[in-house]
Amino acid sequence: MMFKKGSKVGHLFGRSNWKPRFLVLTTDAILYYTAPGGKLKGKIDLTKCSPSDIEEMPHDGFKTGTSASSIWRISIQTPGRRYMIAATNPGEMNVWFDDLQKITAHGSCRSIDQVDQMRQAVRQARLRVPKAQAVHDSVCAS
């Protein structure tokens, strides 16, 4: 069980709170539920995140107030939003941090592999195109 910080969007002084959530890490996302076997509350897409988007104990994420969350926090910066999660102890935080680093690094590598595959396909296609056409394409692409 982890805690996820919620926020009230659209209000100048929106209230933010911490709620216990059951998190499931997949190869490309974090799914969060009200409880094990409970209702899916949301998904944090990790496909566009890199390891640098995952921060352990962020400088602006220290515990304030009397919320039920712990001090052991991780921030996840996605293109659309920043998420904060809190583990129940430092060991749990370290495991989540390490796993998130691996998942986001794997996603980055997967994207690089996909780019390399596309480049290879383009090279093979150009071998089948007359030389003048291939030169024109490479000049236009520059």
Task: Tell me which amino acid residue 7 is.
Answer: S
Cβ-proximal residues to 57 (8 Å cutoff; 6+ apart), any chain: 72, 73, 74, 93
Residue 133 vs residue 22, higher pLDDT: 22
Q: Is the CB of residue 33 less than 8 Å from the CB of residue 26? A: no
List Cα–Cα distances, 129 to 122, 126, 137, 142, in angstroms.
11, 5, 10, 18
8 A C-beta contact, residue 20 and residue 106: no
Kindly state the tokens that stand for 31. Answer: 């799914």
CATH number at residue 87: 2.30.29.30
**Interval 5-26 mean pLDDT:** 61
| 105 contacts 51 by C-beta, under 8 angstroms | yes
Mean pLDDT value across residues 29-36:
88
88 is in which domain, residue-wise?
2-141
Residue 141, SS3 per DSSP: helix
Rounded to the nearest 5°, which phi and psi values hold at 126? -70, -30
**Distance from C-alpha of 95 to C-alpha of 87, rounded to nearest angstrom:** 10
Residue identified by tokens 């910066």 is: 77
Q: What is the pLDDT of residue 137?
A: 39
Give the burial class of 2: count Cβ atoms within 10 A of its Cβ; 0-12 exposed, 13-18 middle, 19 or more buried: buried
- The percent of residues above 70 in pLDDT, for the chain, comes to 54
pLDDT value for 112: 47
**Predicted structure pTM score:** 0.62
> What are the pLDDT digits (tens) for 72-126?
789 999 999 989 888 888 888 889 999 999 989 876 555 545 545 555 665 555 4
Q: How many independent structural domains does the chain possess?
A: 1
- Are 46 and 24 in contact by the 8 Å Cβ rule? The answer is no
Average confidence score pLDDT of the chain: 71
